[in-house]
Amino acid sequence: SQQGEEDPQALSIQEGENATMNCSYKTSINNLQWYRQNSGRGLVHLILIRSNEREKHSGRLRVTLDTSKKSSSLLITASRAADTASYFCAMGGEGNTPLVFGKGTRLSVIA
């Protein structure tokens, strides 16, 4: 069955530095999505990358996808204290299957 694994589980960086989070998955996907969750709040969609895409940008976010390695990475450039949150990858499978979420990476950006 599909499972997502984020790495690292927790990351602490200084404001202005870049943050990189990785996601690995097991079975083939239609797309991979990244979500952000502030403590105790709902998840917010950040970006979706399709299986035939290799890289996507949105503002300070850069997502890459390597389907041969079954992995994706999320890069946040020039991080800010407000980026402190948990970040989840979610895999969209083939057919009518719901998204499967990973356990998340907890990012702390220190001002």
Partner 1 sequence: ETGVTQTPRHLVMGMTNKKSLKCEQHLGHNAMYWYKQSAKKPLELMFVYNFKEQTENNSVPSRFSPECPNSSHLFLHLHTLQPEDSALYLCASSLGTSGTGELFFGEGSRLTVL
Catalog residues that contact partner 1 under the rule CB under 8 A: 3-4, 30-31, 33, 35, 40-45, 48, 88, 90-93, 95-104
Residue 99 CB, shortest distance to partner 1, in Å, is: 4
Residue 17 CB, shortest distance to partner 1, in Å, is: 26
- How far, in Å, CA of 108 to CA of 8, rounded? 12
Residue 73 vs 92, nearer CB to partner 1:
92
Residue 109 CB, shortest distance to partner 1, in Å, is: 22
What 3-state DSSP class applies to 81?
helix
Nearest residue to 33 via CA among 93, 106, 95? 93
Cis amide linkage into residue 98, ω under 30° from 0:
no
Residue 18 vs 28, nearer CB to partner 1:
28
Residue 34 vs 73, nearer CB to partner 1:
34
- How far, in Å, CA of 67 to CA of 64, rounded? 10
Parallel/antiparallel/unpaired status of strands 105-110 and 10-14: parallel
Residue 15 vs 51, nearer CB to partner 1:
51
